[in-house]
Structure 1
Amino acid sequence: MVSAVILALVAIAFVMIVIEDIIHVNKAKTTLFFGTLCWILAFIFPMHGATSSEISEQLNHNLLEIATLWLFLMSTMTFVAYLNSKGFISQIVQRLLPSELSERRLMFIIAVFAFIFSSFADNVTATLVAIAVISSIKLEVKKRIQYATLIIFAVNSGGVSLITGDVTTLMFFLAGKVTIANLLLLILPALFAVAVLAILLSRKMKGRIVLEKSAKPIEKADVVIAVIFASTIGSTLLFNILFQIPPVLTFLFGLGVMFLSAQYLLRKKTGVNILSYIREVEFDTLLFFLGVLLLVGIMKEIGVLTNITHLYQYLEPVQANYLMGLMSALIDNVPLTAALLKADLTMTTAEWLTLTYATGVGGSILIIGSAAGIIAMSKVKELTFGTYFRMAGYLLGCYSLGYIGVYFVGQFALS
């Protein structure tokens, strides 16, 4: 009975996210309310004979995951907030791009950049930087939404081919389901799907973009902090691979280096406090993350994710894997992947590759299905569940196209 009530509350929470534009209630408020309410009910009416101490342990485990993500986001967003406020990213864009280019050409440049960058950096950082690039360019509202949509899909697609790009890809690799050589097979079909989406979204784009070249010099302090940011990204990947150091720890260290360096570099500027840039982080985004992860966490604890794995008893792996990708648009792909790995499924390497692609890219179909989507929604105010959902047909088609490509590449290369 309690499980049914909690599931109903989770459903209401997701519906309120969808109709945010209609009810004018911020999604951070609704998810936080329902997320905490579900856990309170779990304590008052324990499920499956669990004791209060067991529920506390489950909650603490979920809060640890949430806190890790919070701190990682906070440190990443602080770097980007500083560089954005100083105009560093817009100046770099002006220097790298020609003074005039077509909107369609920019679409493909953004797609390739987001795809490649997310393969080496985490999805959150890649999204923040890519969104900052389009934010520095004057675009119509509709076109800005289209660019943001492409970024979300490209970021998620780029991350699946390397263990440094996506957590779920790393999980499949560590479980011995795929090798690095296997994962490289995902690059071409994933990139092809991104290219098709870029073509579809840019069909009616016939305008040209003129970039105003600024003569303003880039300050030395900004260059140093940008280098620290890039070094932090590289160190995060390297230390995690070599010493299994959690990414959040390395990024917080990089943030500390940034603060100390800025203290010295900006010492002659009065009224400048580098710590003030933390206030520019969108904490409503962090609260939204908190609420969503609390909802997903309670779904995991009541056994919803485990029940989903029963799908493999009725469908072939290729069909079930495709549906898992669609489910990852509603359910966080990390606990979903964990549940699938614990289910001890028997599949070929080619089939595990399709599941790797599905869980990594399927979340792109809905704006709330991936960290990239949630970050983009917080940065582009016109990007909502409704405006993004208008692209769902394109996104579903490109996801399906990429999935089919991965299947055939796997069958051909691994047969």
Structure 2
Amino acid sequence: MVDYFLIALAVVALLSIVFEEVTHINKAKSTLFFGCIAWITLFISRGASQNEFINHQLEENLLEIAVLWLFLMSTMTFVAYLNAKGVIQMAVQRLFPQKSHVAVIMFLVAIFSLILSAICDNVTATLVSLTLVQTFNISRRVRLRMAIIVVFAVNSGGVALITGDVTTLMIYLDGHVQMSQLFFLLIPATVSVLFLTTILSIGLKGTISTTPAARNYETVDLLVALIFFSTILSTMLLNVAFGIPPVLTFLSGLSVMFLVGTVYRNDKQESEILEYIRQIEYDTLLFFLGILLLVGMLKEIGVLHLVTEIYAQINPTYSNYFAGIASAILDNVPLTAALLKAEPVLSATHWLGLTYAVGVGGSLLVIGSAAGIIAMSKMKEMTFMTYSRYIPALLAAYTVGYVITINLADYIL
């Protein structure tokens, strides 16, 4: 009975996100509340004899959350700072035409997000891409569609390199795919992103112009931008060469940024920047905390194990496809870990199919991936309901990418 109650809590938490516009209760606060209540219930229901075990599981869950929090905080600090100083707007004006048809800009945004997420982590790619979208003078409808494209493109690009997505790295480290095979996933990823962009650009008319960048940045701000991109590059290289966790490299880059700021700015200027970051980003961090607490609880009561058992009983071609859809409801990292622990016997084709599915499938729901959660926290136009209207288009694009992955892998491999 207790397990059913806990599942019901997770459902209520989901509904609190869905109906945020009706209840006017901030989704970050509601998910955090239900996440905490779920773990308290778990402690009470298991009794004193299992408290030590549950406490250990909670500490492991909190450790995973803390790592993500620190990584997210360091990345957001860089992006928020550069956005506040107009550096990102300046870069956009250099990379994108100042005025072009809305469909052309949408395709450029899609390609930009796809490439960026392939060479750096999903969190950084999402933040930079969404900041890019916010620089355009566009309607709420177009901005929403662009944000949806960013979420899907970021998740798609991340599957092609071990630095782009955690689940890709997990499958690679387990020895099931090779680096050269992962590069192959760029083909279905690119096709599916362009397919979705084509669908979402239908019926849109007019041109888009970029917002003129305010020339309020100084030499030190360009230096911070250089530190940011050096940190991204270092994160990728150090993780591949020495296995250094990305969070450690990004925190090191953040410390360099703070040291540089201390030298070039007075205390008042630094306080203003930190206050700007706190006001914009804190809800995103709380939302992540609440969601991950709920997912961790579902893992502890065996919901992920149940998904693994169902997976093993179906043909891999279909089970991988539905595993991707399941990753939109359950966090793809513990889901992938559970599937790997089950040690399924799959061909190289099916391992690539699984890599694509769990990496991209989370795009089907706005709460199904880190990119979606960040987008919902940062874009006023994006809610659970507004995102859900585009599920048919997202499902079609995901299906196209998965079918191409399976068929092309059979042909090449």
Q: Report the TM-score when normalising by structure 1.
A: 0.96
C-alpha contact (below 8 Å) 1:20/1:26 kept by paired residues: yes
Residue 66 of structure 1: how far off its partner (Å): 0.4
Equivalent AA in structure 1 for residue 232 of structure 2: I
Structure 1 counterpart of 2:25: 25
Pairing 1:169-208 to 2, within 5 Å after superposition: 169-208=168-207
Structure 2 counterpart of 1:97: 96
State which drifts further: 240-249 or 389-398: 240-249
C-alpha contact (below 8 Å) 2:86/2:214 kept by paired residues: no
Matched, 1:44 2:53: no
Structure 2 counterpart of 1:211: 210
CA distance in 2, matches of 1:71, 1:215: 30
CA distance in 2, matches of 1:215, 1:372: 28
Matched, 1:126 2:125: yes
CA distance in 2, matches of 1:189, 1:58: 38
CA distance in 2, matches of 1:302, 1:104: 46
Secondary structure of the structure 1 residue equivalent to 2:160: coil
C-alpha contact (below 8 Å) 1:197/1:398 kept by paired residues: yes
CA distance in 2, matches of 1:314, 1:308: 10
Residue 215 of structure 1: how far off its partner (Å): 7.7
Structure 1 counterpart of 2:375: 376
Matched, 1:408 2:398: no
Matched, 1:114 2:106: no
CA distance in 2, matches of 1:407, 1:16: 37
Per-residue deviation, residues 312-358 of structure 1 (Å, max 9, x unmatched)? 34320111111111111110000000000001111111001111100
Equivalent AA in structure 2 for residue 376 of structure 1: A
CA distance in 2, matches of 1:179, 1:411: 15
Secondary structure of the structure 1 residue equivalent to 2:100: strand
Residue 214 of structure 1: how far off its partner (Å): 5.0
Per-residue deviation, residues 28-67 of structure 1 (Å, max 9, x unmatched)? 12211111111111111118x9611111100000000001
Equivalent AA in structure 1 for residue 163 of structure 2: T
CA distance in 1, matches of 2:317, 2:353: 7
Structure 1 counterpart of 2:395: 396
Equivalent AA in structure 2 for residue 12 of structure 1: V
Secondary structure of the structure 2 residue equivalent to 1:107: helix
C-alpha contact (below 8 Å) 1:111/1:151 kept by paired residues: yes
Residue 279 of structure 1: how far off its partner (Å): 2.1
What is the root-mean-square deviation of aligned Cα atoms in Å? 1.6
Per-residue deviation, residues 63-119 of structure 1 (Å, max 9, x unmatched)? 000011111111111111111111111122122222221111101110111000001
CA distance in 2, matches of 1:407, 1:209: 37
Structure 2 counterpart of 1:64: 63
C-alpha contact (below 8 Å) 2:144/2:381 kept by paired residues: yes
Residue 176 of structure 1: how far off its partner (Å): 0.7
C-alpha contact (below 8 Å) 2:89/2:213 kept by paired residues: no
Secondary structure of the structure 2 residue equivalent to 1:339: helix
Structure 2 counterpart of 1:140: 139
Q: For residues 61 and 99 of structure 1, do their structure 2 counterparts lie closer, same or farther at Cα, with a shift above 3 Å needed?
A: same
Secondary structure of the structure 2 residue equivalent to 1:45: helix
Residue 222 of structure 1: how far off its partner (Å): 1.1
Aligned residues: 412
C-alpha contact (below 8 Å) 1:259/1:275 kept by paired residues: no
CA distance in 1, matches of 2:403, 2:95: 35
Matched, 1:4 2:4: yes
CA distance in 1, matches of 2:41, 2:145: 41
Q: For residues 242 and 277 of structure 1, do their structure 2 counterparts lie closer, same or farther at Cα, with a shift above 3 Å needed?
A: farther
CA distance in 2, matches of 1:271, 1:110: 33
Q: For residues 50 and 27 of structure 1, do their structure 2 counterparts lie closer, same or farther at Cα, with a shift above 3 Å needed?
A: farther
Secondary structure of the structure 1 residue equivalent to 2:352: helix
C-alpha contact (below 8 Å) 1:74/1:281 kept by paired residues: no
Secondary structure of the structure 2 residue equivalent to 1:51: helix
CA distance in 2, matches of 1:212, 1:340: 46
Per-residue deviation, residues 250-272 of structure 1 (Å, max 9, x unmatched)? 111111100110111225x9644
CA distance in 1, matches of 2:369, 2:146: 17
Structure 2 counterpart of 1:300: 299
Structure 2: 5+ residue runs without aligned partners? none
Residue 280 of structure 1: how far off its partner (Å): 3.8
Pairing 1:66-85 to 2, within 5 Å after superposition: 66-85=65-84
CA distance in 2, matches of 1:271, 1:196: 45
Secondary structure of the structure 2 residue equivalent to 1:308: helix
Structure 1: 5+ residue runs without aligned partners? none
CA distance in 1, matches of 2:208, 2:79: 24
C-alpha contact (below 8 Å) 2:101/2:206 kept by paired residues: yes
Per-residue deviation, residues 113-153 of structure 1 (Å, max 9, x unmatched)? 10000011110100000000110111100000000000000
C-alpha contact (below 8 Å) 2:329/2:368 kept by paired residues: yes
Per-residue deviation, residues 331-389 of structure 1 (Å, max 9, x unmatched)? 00000000000011111110011111000000001100000001111111111001111
Equivalent AA in structure 2 for residue 257 of structure 1: V
CA distance in 1, matches of 2:67, 2:279: 20
C-alpha contact (below 8 Å) 1:77/1:281 kept by paired residues: no
Residue 205 of structure 1: how far off its partner (Å): 1.7
CA distance in 2, matches of 1:389, 1:76: 28
Structure 1 counterpart of 2:363: 364
Pairing 1:211-290 to 2, within 5 Å after superposition: 211=210, 213=212, 216=215, 218-267=217-266, 271-273=269-271, 274-290=273-289
CA distance in 2, matches of 1:177, 1:388: 34
Q: For residues 262 and 277 of structure 1, do their structure 2 counterparts lie closer, same or farther at Cα, with a shift above 3 Å needed?
A: farther
